[in-house]
Amino acid sequence: MQAHATTRGTAGVTRRGFLLGAGGIGAGLALAGCAPLGGSSSRPETITFYVSKPEVIGYFDDVIAKFHESQSKIRVVRDSTSNMSANFVRNRPPDLGCLNYNYAMVSFVEHGALTDLSDTRERDTINPDLWPLMQQTADYPGRTSVLPYSVTAASVIYDKALFAQQGLEVPTTWSAFTDVCERLVRAGITPMYGTYKDNWTIAQGMFDYSVGGMLDVPATFAALDREGTSVGKGSAVSFERDFAAPVGRMVELLQWHQAGAASRGYGDGNLAFAQGKAAMYLQGPWALGEIAKTNPDMDLGTFPFPATDDPADNKVRVNVDLGLWIPEASRKQEAAREFLSFLMSPAVSDQYNADNNGFGVRKDSPPVSNPALRGMQDSYDRAAFSLGASQLIPAEIPVANYLQSIAFGGAPEPQLRTLDGDWARLALRSAA
């Protein structure tokens, strides 16, 4: 789920250039062009559709089959194995891509390697609250390079039956949350199940939830970008100072996890939670299907993590799960646009979100279909959401490892100080 602008100075931490060199992109763009739909023969135009998310390949294969049934002039070949970066450099990118909108896309967007989709009718249907999320990740001035296809929202998953048995209400403030945890402890129930062995679960959960509820995430990361090589002691913004309170909140949460959380991983957590071994689970909707494999009748709900005592601060963590884009180097852009329109049609995209616990991206998208996720619907509708802070830190910085050290009992200050140093060094390297 990357607050920066393409026009900022070179002192800032740039997220461009990690995947592609400008020379490679330039070579690719020099040969760009569009062939007439169907070419000069009557044979169907064949386009390549790149899908990065392995768990939805079957869904898109079915969609491709339906597209073929609906018309005869375009054939779609699905690709999920190629090296996308290498194919761009070799001037053989896919004609249409459908990827998680994260760091993997930054270089392509910021080097202008993707076509402008602002003139498509699908662009006008998008919920305007989503464009800031797209721009935080990557932006190219004057273009709509990527159309969001699905948004994933994550918050606190809770056992509704257990809450009801204990007479607990969903907390909307930090004080109420701590009270719920203490009441559960007194009842002999583990408040939350922790999976510290898999460090990404700490970053995506406790860290992102706390930061999202206590900081203005876009403004904070924009300031970090501006500071660039100066981030550290004495800078206008720093991890050590500005993230101290959210990380302190994360540390407070550790006391309400089960004993032995350091040796438990994601799979352990899904199984244990399904077995009723905790009342809450700080995980995303991807865990729901895994929990259901053990306990399909479990009555689950979700609520935004209340990091402060002001309910107005409550947010859910989101990421643009999938985005659609067409490369400049594609010679079959017209055909790719036609298949993009088919993918974005309500009948196709709404079914995708219903099947994969996603939130729709259109202004008129229906509510989320999974009852367990409806506790986040109001937040999503009001744009009370933020991108996960852990996803806004460049992949070269091992933030999840630092957070795991804190979860294992280490002091937060040295880890946050290290983050400052990493950020400044990466900014210096990027500016060189």
- End-to-end Cα distance, the chain: 28
For the domain 22-152+320-377, what is the CATH superfamily, name and number? Answer: Periplasmic binding protein-like II (3.40.190.10)
Look up tokens 């250039």; give the residue. 17
Contacts with 425 (C-beta within 8 Å, 6 or more apart), sequence order: none
Q: Are 91 and 28 in contact (CB under 8 A)?
A: yes
- Residue 424's pLDDT is 97
Both tokens of residue 347? 């009948």
pLDDT in tens, 318-368: 999 999 999 999 999 999 999 999 999 999 999 999 999 999 999 999 999
Look up tokens 């800032």; give the residue. 12
- Residue 432's pLDDT is 60
The dihedrals phi and psi of 415, each to the nearest 5 degrees, come to -70, -40
Mean of the pLDDT values across residues 232-237? 94
Query: CATH top-level class for 153-317+391-431?
Result: alpha beta
- Residue 142's pLDDT is 95
pLDDT in tens, 89-139: 888 899 999 998 887 788 899 999 999 999 999 999 999 999 999 999 889
Q: Are 200 and 389 in contact (CB under 8 A)?
A: no
Which pairs from 134-137 meet CB under 8 Å and 24+ separation?
Answer: 134/101, 134/320, 134/323, 135/5, 136/2, 136/3, 136/4, 136/218, 136/221, 136/387, 136/392, 137/2, 137/101, 137/102, 137/105, 137/106, 137/109, 137/320, 137/387
- Residue 219's pLDDT is 95
- Residue 90's pLDDT is 84
Q: Is the pLDDT reported for residue 8 higher than 90? A: no
Mean pLDDT of the chain: 90
- Residue 102's pLDDT is 82
- Residue 41's pLDDT is 56
Q: In terms of Cα–Cα distance, which of 44, 50, 94 is closest to 70? A: 44
- Percent of the chain residues past pLDDT 70, beyond the cut: 90
Q: Is the pLDDT reported for residue 208 higher than 60? A: yes
Q: In terms of Cα–Cα distance, which of 394, 370, 405, 293 is closest to 2? A: 394
Both tokens of residue 27? 């070579």
- Residue 57's pLDDT is 94
Model confidence, pTM: 0.87
- Residue 107's pLDDT is 85
Mean of the pLDDT values across residues 145-165? 97
- Residue 1's pLDDT is 36
Mean of the pLDDT values across residues 195-223? 97
The CATH 3.40.190.10 portion of the chain extends over 22-152+320-377, 153-317+391-431
Tell me the C-alpha to C-alpha distance, in Å, between residue 431 and each of 11, 106, 182, 356. Answer: 6, 17, 49, 40
Q: Is the pLDDT reported for residue 30 higher than 90? A: no
- Residue 42's pLDDT is 76
Look up tokens 């330039």; give the residue. 26
Pairing relationship of beta strands 45-51 and 74-79 according to DSSP bridges: parallel
Other CB atoms within 10 Å distance of the CB of residue 77: 12
Q: Are 15 and 60 in contact (CB under 8 A)?
A: no
- 3-state SS track over the chain: CCCCCCCCCCCCCCCCCCCCCHHHHHHHHHCCCCCCCCCCCCCCEEEEEEECCHHHHHHHHHHHHHHHHHCCCEEEEEECCCCHHHHHHCCCCCCEEEECCCHHHHHHHHCCCECCCCCCCCHHHECHHHHHHHHHHCCCCCCCCCEEEEEEEEEEEEEHHHHHHCCCCCCCCHHHHHHHHHHHHHCCCCCECCCCCCHHHHHHHHHHHHHHHHCCHHHHHHHHHHHHHHCCCCCCCCHHHHCHHHHHHHHHHHCCECCCHHHCCHHHHHHHHHCCCCCEEEECCHHHHHHHHHCCCCCEEEECCCCCCCHHHCCEEEEEEEEEECECCCCCHHHHHHHHHHHHCHHHHHHHHHHCCCECCECCCCCCCCHHHHHHHHHHHCCCEEECHHHCCCCCCCHHHHHHHHHCCCCHHHHHHHHHHHHHHHHHHHHC
- Percent of the chain residues past pLDDT 90, beyond the cut: 81
pLDDT in tens, 392-417: 998 899 999 999 999 999 999 999 99
- Residue 6's pLDDT is 31
Q: Is the pLDDT reported for residue 23 higher than 70? A: no
Both tokens of residue 97? 């891509």
Tell me the C-alpha to C-alpha distance, in Å, between residue 50 and each of 44, 83, 311. Answer: 19, 10, 41
Determine the residue type at 145.
Answer: S
